[in-house]
Amino acid sequence: MAKILYVAKGADPSTITWPLAGPPQERFKFTSGTALTIDGLIGYGDGSATYPDGRSFPMISSQASTFTHQKS
């Protein structure tokens, strides 16, 4: 389980479905400034997260918004 915080920057909206592409079960709806707990991700102490198969969860959008794992 990972607790992900989205911080919107640039032209990214305050609410976003991230990542922008991929299977529906691997995309999540985030609101800037509100941490979202996701059972399908694994969070790490360095702020990163991965899918259960080891693929990285993208942490930075093309507009420089960030998605970081928050320690519980």
For the CA atoms of 11, 63, 43, 50, the dihedral, rounded to the nearest 10 degrees, stands at 120
Q: What is the predicted pLDDT for the residue at 71?
A: 86
Q: How far is CA 45 from the centre of its chain?
A: 15
- Distance CA(28)–CA(30), nearest Å, equals 6
pTM score, whole prediction: 0.92
pLDDT band at 56 (very low <50, low <70, confident <90, very high): very high
pLDDT band at 18 (very low <50, low <70, confident <90, very high): very high
In the predicted model, what is the mean pLDDT of residues 7-13?
97
In the predicted model, what is the mean pLDDT of residues 64-72?
93
Instruction: List, for residues 21-53, the tens digit of each pLDDT value.
Output: 999 999 999 999 999 999 999 999 999 999 999
- Distance CA(71)–CA(41), nearest Å, equals 13
